[in-house]
A and B are shown apart, each in its own frame.
Chain A
């Protein structure tokens, strides 16, 4: 899986990096060999994406492919404009796909295209319906391939699906039930199927981290000791949440003589 993503990404221009994205991390989920402090910033968006994808926590109950939040990218690469632009070019090259999440605050999730297709496959396999089979195929070949934005209008969805065959309203309901599309008046948002519980964990985890720091006397803590904490309400690990909160501006890091300090930012 990692190899295919590397091959897909290496098709992009001027991105020849001979790098091993597989790291021993995924085989040993309990030890954090790469501490967050050493891995807080990267030089390039694609490097950051791949590293964070490799460090995605393994969740036991739900099988979900790794995704990265936009705020995590902002905390990892210094120049935000560069992140935006590189992400845009990666999106246009169909290396990654961007989804709008409904956890408020203008969240976007970034997923490598291959991971997304794998996720779709897993979900579709479980829905064994005769009529529905074709819709998913049409969706995959016509819609995903050509529509790169996170949302799509009803009319356009209809025309693109019709390229595969006769489309009925029931087909679109099937897509919605599978979790691939989210309905909105007159338009649809693309969504990652089966991600609901993880998103819930995401918002609860955010609240937990922030409340934990807010309860402390000086609303701050060393990053190294923070990392070791376990979260009760979120299946995602602390590192994921820390990157996300630093990137969205709720937390800020201060360099001290003993290491990085994480502090709640007041604005």
Chain B
């Protein structure tokens, strides 16, 4: 360690690589924290966790008893064990008793990306509330056609403040805080949308994963989605630097072309059905007449609605884009409410098709990295987390959280501590700490071990540096 500091002084080691080295060393020693504890006021399972993106100081959690709470993870509210264990109680809670609070479970709670003055909660009572943090009042309310599974706001956005909402309805809606109305409705999925994520490289690109197994990329400046990930399009590892005109590329273009040319009345009817919203989604009639196809002019943006490629044979329950915006991780679990192409599979088989896939965003190909997952929780969206240099991905697998190496798929660490299923995890790269929340109503903190000796001078002293925006 001292040698490295000396190297950095002399310029042999770059400061960036010095910090990365220290950070990855700390990440490798993550264990349940011996000096920090978060006291959760929730009385039901915790569905969502997020640390704010501006300071990395406040943790927002949303739980199934319609309560949302905020904790300060950098400053403890009080100390126990002779000043050794820091207890972080919540700064405030909003729950059912609040006059405009949610009535049913909160499935997603996120911070407004620009500052911590607002936060947004989406709940199973079909509402999305925008709250003012300082006064804990609801400033805006959006009503959705179905249970809200996930909400997301782009952290890169400078020109828009749209909340993307994935609900049990097939359409993804974008709500605008500035105007209070819905600005976009994105159609294309055939079943509820469990996860939505904004791209980390472009403020206009949204990625959604549905219960039909499809992962779609939408550019909100134009109609339709521009990419549907297909699990059969794969590439071996990282993309080659020289573009290859392989058969798969041709297959991709020919498939979209052929589906575009053979249009008949069916897609029109399909769209009308989707426009009617949720409820029964009949699988389209299997027989497409080979001859006599009526040429209907479909908007080029809507061609993607005919693309039935699936990224997975199952519902996509988690999506996470890496920080550099180049790769996307998707988690899926087998859903037994089968639609369309899944009725061939045996519904009595033990639900063990849970998998993680790594996709290359630019080429839209599956990189064929095999993550050794055996089981993931089914039926609920889960939140994945990646470490900052994108070397590790933290995945909640049943009652444990596993850290996988992104490129080789090996399990590097397993974090066992929760008593019941884990729903969400968030990695704070500033502190190298992992926060996990699960069905056992607890939020656990996993951090590199701190030596007891360090704790001596800190403590409940008056700290003038304790301020926040």
Tell me the count of chain A residues lying within 8 A, CB to CB, of chain B: 36
Specify the main secondary structure of chain A where it touches its partner.
Answer: mixed
A139 to B348, CA, bound (A): 33
Give CA–CA (A156, B350) in the complex, Å.
Answer: 34
Residues of B within 8 A of A (CB): 232, 234, 236-237, 246-247, 255, 258-259, 262, 283-284, 286, 288, 290, 308, 313, 334, 340-341, 343-350, 352-353, 355, 368-370, 372, 374-375, 398, 408-409
Given contacts A102-B346, A103-B346, A103-B349, contact A185 B340 (CB under 8 A): yes
CB neighbors of B among A175-189 (8 A): 182-187, 189
Chain B residues closer than 8 Å to A83, beta-carbon distance = 370
Flag if A149 contacts B232 (CB, 8 Å): yes
User: Do the beta carbons of A79 and B408 come within 8 Å of each other?
Assistant: yes
- Name the residue among B344, B353, B375 with the largest chain A CB count within 10 angstroms: B344
Does A185 lie within 8 Å of B341, measured CB to CB? yes
Q: Is A214 an interface residue (CB 8 A)?
A: no
A182–B283 Cα distance when bound, in Å, is: 18
User: B340 CB to closest chain A CB, in angstroms?
Assistant: 6
Answer yes or no: A19 CB below 8 A from chain B CBs: no
Indicate whether A81 sits within 8 Å of B345 (C-beta atoms), given known contacts A106-B353, A267-B398: no
**Quick check: A105 and B349 within 8 Å, CB to CB?**
yes
* Contact across chains for B375 and A186 when beta carbons are under 8 A apart: no
Contacts A102-B344, A105-B350 known; list 18 others, CB within 8 Å.
Answer: A79-B408, A102-B345, A104-B345, A104-B346, A104-B349, A105-B346, A105-B353, A148-B247, A154-B286, A155-B259, A158-B290, A159-B258, A182-B344, A185-B284, A185-B286, A186-B308, A186-B341, A249-B352
> Is A84 part of the binding interface, using a Cβ–Cβ cutoff of 8 Å?
yes
Q: Across the two chains, which residue of chain A brings its CB closest to B231?
A: A149
Name which residue of chain B comes closest to A184, CB basis: B341
Q: Do A155 and B262 have beta carbons less than 8 Å apart?
A: yes
CA distance A88 to B341 in the complex (A): 23
The residue in chain A whose Cβ has the minimal distance to the Cβ of B398 is A267
Cross-chain contact of A184 among B343, B353, B369 (Cβ < 8 A): B343
Known: A81-B408, A88-B236, A158-B290. A185 touches B283 (CB 8 A): yes
Interface centre among B258, B259, B352 (most CB of A within 10 A): B352
CB distance from B311 to the nearest CB of A (A): 14
Nearest to B408 among chain A residues (CB) is A81
- Contact, CB under 8 Å: A80 / B288: no
In the bound complex, residues from chain A placing their C-beta under 8 Å from that of B375 are 267
Given the interface pairs A184-B341, A185-B284, the reply to whether A92 lies near B370 with Cβ below 8 Å is: no
In the complex, what residues of A have CB within 8 A of residue B353's CB? Answer: 105-106
